[in-house]
Each structure stands twice: as structure tokens, then as C-alpha cells.
Amino acid sequence: MTFNSIDFAVFMPVVFFIYWALSKNLKMQNIFLLVASYFFYVWWDWRYLSLILLCTAVNYIAGLLLMKTEVQKWRKTILVICCFICFGVLGVFKYYNFFVHTFVDAFSLFGVKLQAHTLNLILPVGISFYTFHTLSYTIDVYRRHFSSTKDIISFALFVSIFPLAMAGPIERATNLLPQIYVKRKFDYSQTVDGMRQILWGLFKKIVIADSCAEIVNYVFANYNILPGSSLLIGALFFTFQIYGDFSGYSDMAIGIGKLLGFKFLRNFNYPYFSRDIAEFWRRWHMSLTTWFRDYLYIPLGGSRASKRKIVRNTFIIYLVSGFWHGANWTFIVWGLYHALLFVPLIVTGRNRKYTNAVAEGKLFPGIKETGQIFLTFFLVMIGWIFFRANTISEATEYLNGMLQFDTLKAFYRIASYPVFWICCAMLIIEWFGRQEQCALFKFGKEWNKGVRWSFYYILIGIIFYFAQIGGIQTFIYFQF
């Protein structure tokens, strides 16, 4: 069951009405939402539920044990055991075969042939997200930033709440658990905002991402026989695809949370309007970026260390981030690539230069800012080629072929695709709404009510049209 499926179109209204019908009884409301979340997850494969239950039990018990002991030695032991179990499960399902193949390949370089024994395992949907989700709770309890909970229903709901179950955002206990504890009141304005955000997320997923996917899949499958202009088109449309796909999911998840009375963490802040790579990473997959910052980068010394150590820490963060995305050397190279782009900013002390919205208070950016945005977009697009390719050699061959293109022919061909102009329209709408959490919170807000609603109905019509001609595509980040 996905947010863009007919199944979910039936599931969500049923959950919504029963959920708010139980609003006078918080415990029953939480129990119902927990059951609905488990049902949502079981819809994929009932076997996946056992891992969520294991992750829930381990971290719940670890939190209780951490609160019962003041001896630092035992507290650290509890945390290590909890991390070992959670990362161990993640490692077996996601990385075991990768390590086996890498080990065998390393020995083959010296002429030693080993027999590889791999596991025929299916990667459970969302395992990387809920693993980090729950570990943030245990680590915060260990650090005494948060008191552990004895309410198993509330904690289980925190771990498995269905809008976040598949692809985040990666929530924190400090933000979500207090919202689960208190009685939630139906808020009409929040519900309307949630519907707007869901609508915009569906548009980005179905109209932008899924339309780009057809072109991208063809180009990357035939990159070795296509001209450079086609490869440039493939890279450009994948850049739009992955943004529309992942930020679209995040918009829908956050919007659904608002329908249920929750305020989830923001995950995207218009990253393609960034003026350098540092700003891009403050705006892209923000819940993961801040997770690594708080639980890895700062413990390593953060930005208070010498520049040499800051550079070291940066490389560690981006390599781990790349590896988090998948068990393939392409993701590691993708992480290394972004680390290399980040280093000059650290050395020159410009990694925190842009923390405000681009062209804040202005209608259009200046010439310098426009150039910075296009350059950052291009550098990010190059990195996405490694992210999308199956192997490093495929990515390098793709890049080599892409750089051999006729500029005028390439721009003419790009402009001939209707989806390109739809992507441009999306960027225009997001530009005008770039200081809001969702572009539709600002765009058209000052319009006459009839005009504004006509615009929403046009969006709905476009979504239905593209859903019929393109079919339903799986969200990219479900594989992570």
C-alpha cells in the first residue's frame, strides 16, 4: 500500500473518521492508530512486522534499563548492546551480501578464489528509517536528554506510525512522543494545510517523478548506445525524478500527520534553490542530515575541532551517508563526491555562509545568486549519476558519454519534452512559496477563493490524468 494507490485512498478516509471518532479517549485512539499502522505495514508483507516488533522491544527495554541505573559503565553497555542488535539486523538484511561479495572480490585480486555463500533475503521496506528512528530515542535517553517511557503503546506508535513507516522523515522522540502523550483536538485549518501538502506531494510524485522515470529508465538502460544529448536528458530528468519522488513522499507523510493532529519534522526545504553544496545538504533529507550531525558528527568533534579533523569528520559523515543509502560502491562514491565538494567550503570557512532563504524579501535572485544556483544544481546532477547507476564503471562511462554532447541540440531536445516544462512550472510555484513549509501554503493564497480552488481542481485533474497514462511507480527510497 502506497500513498499514491487506490488501496490507500480507501484506507486513509476510514482511518481518519474512526480515529477522530475516538478523540475523547486518548488511549483507544492511540491503540487504534497503532493497529492501523501495523495493518499498513503488513499490507506489504506480514513477515516484515516481526522486525519492527523486535526493534520496538529492544529499544523499549533498553530505555527502561537506562533509567534504572546510574552506573555509567552499565549504561554504556546497555546502549552498545541495543545498537549492536539494531545495526546487526540492519546489517544482515541490507549489507551481508555486499560484504561477502566485496570480501571474495578482494581475494580474487590476488588470484585466490573463494566460494561465496550469500543469503536470499528481501530488504524489508523502511528498515533504515525505523532503525534510526528508534535508536535516536535510546541515544537521547542515554544522554539524559529525554526520559524513557513506560507506556508501551505510545512507544510502539512512535516507532511504527504509518505515515513515517516507509521513508521517513526520521523522527525524534523529543518531538513526536510528547504529541502522542497528549489529547489531540481536531483543527480544521491544520487539516486544510495537510490536504494542500498531500496534494502537492501527489503532484510531485505522480506528475513529475513518475513521468521522468519512464525517460530515465530508458536512458540509463541504453546509455552505451545513446548520444551525449540523450544522456544529459537522462541525468537532468533523474535529478527532477528523485526530488519529486522523495520530497513528494515527505510532503504526503507530513500532510497525513497533520490530518491526524501531528506535526512531523520537516524533510525538504527547496534544495534545488541552494547556492552551494553546504546549503544543499541543509535543505535535502534534513531529518537524516541532522541525525548524522547530532549522533555522529558532533560526537566526533563536530566543527569545534581543527580544520584537519573537521575535514576528516566530514568525509566520515558523507561516506556513512552514502553507505546508508545502499549496499553498493556507487553510493559510497556518491558520498565521497559530495565530501570532496564540501571540503573547499570548510577550508575557506564558507560552509555556513548561506543559512537564509535565497533572495529573501525579493522577487528574483541576483545574477550572482542565479549563477550559484545553476552551478550547485549541475554539481548535484553529476552526483546523481553515480546514485542512479548500477556500477561505478557504468557511471563513469555514462559521464564520459554525456560530456560529449552538442549544446544547442541538447537544449532543443530537452525543450521538446512536455515534462520539462511541467518541471519548470513546479520550480516556479516552489520559488514563490520557498519561505513556507509547503509551496501551496503561499502560492495562490492571495487569490480569490474561486480562483484558488479552481487551481487546486486543475492540479487534481492533472494528477489523475498522469496516473492513468503512466501507472503507479514505487517510491525510490523504499529500497533504502
CA 89 to chain centre: 21
Q: Which residue is associated with the grid cell 512550472?
A: 425
Backbone Cα Rg of the chain: 23
CA distance 480 to 94: 8
Of 169, 326, 388, residue with least CA distance to 262: 169
Helix (H, G, I), strand (E, B) or coil at 23: coil
CA distance 282 to 277: 9
Angle at 165 (CA atoms; ends 288, 118), nearest 5 degrees? 80
In the numeric block, which cell numbers belong to residue 316? Answer: 566520515
CA distance 22 to 25: 6
User: By 3-state DSSP, what share of the chain in percent is helix, strand and coil, each rounded to 5?
Assistant: 70, 0, 30
CA distance 477 to 480: 5
CA distance 87 to 4: 31
Q: Which of 133, 285, 325, 338 is catalytic?
A: 325
Residues 6+ apart with CB under 8 A from 54: 85, 89
Count the Cβ atoms, other than its own, within 10 Å of residue 377: 16
Query: Tens of pLDDT along 51-92?
Result: 899 999 999 999 999 999 888 999 999 999 999 999 888 888
Count the Cβ atoms, other than its own, within 10 Å of residue 455: 15
Taking CA atoms, 319 is separated from 144, 175, 315, 339, in Å, by 29, 28, 6, 8
Taking CA atoms, 95 is separated from 101, 212, 226, 253, in Å, by 10, 29, 33, 27
One-letter amino acid of 63 = G
Count the Cβ atoms, other than its own, within 10 Å of residue 183: 10
Active site residue 325: yes
Q: Is the pTM of this model over 0.75?
A: yes
Per-residue pLDDT of the chain (480 residues; tens, 9 = 90+): 788 888 888 999 999 999 999 999 999 999 999 999 999 988 877 878 888 999 999 999 999 999 998 889 999 999 999 999 998 888 888 776 666 666 655 556 566 665 666 666 677 778 888 899 899 999 999 999 888 999 999 999 999 999 998 887 999 999 999 999 999 999 999 999 999 999 999 999 999 999 999 999 999 999 999 988 899 999 999 999 999 999 999 999 999 999 999 999 999 999 999 999 999 999 999 999 999 999 998 888 877 778 888 888 999 999 999 988 887 889 999 999 999 999 999 888 888 888 888 888 888 889 999 999 999 999 999 999 999 999 999 999 999 998 887 767 778 888 889 999 999 999 999 999 888 889 888 877 778 888 888 989 999 999 988 888 866 777 777 766
One-letter amino acid of 418 = P
CA distance 309 to 292: 16
The dihedral sign for the CA sequence 123, 129, 132, 133: negative
In the numeric block, which cell numbers belong to residue 390? Answer: 548500477
Of 218, 202, 196, 239, residue with least CA distance to 423: 239
Domain ranges of the chain: 24-183, 189-479
Q: What is the pLDDT of residue 104?
A: 58
CA atoms within 13 A on the CB side of 394: 16
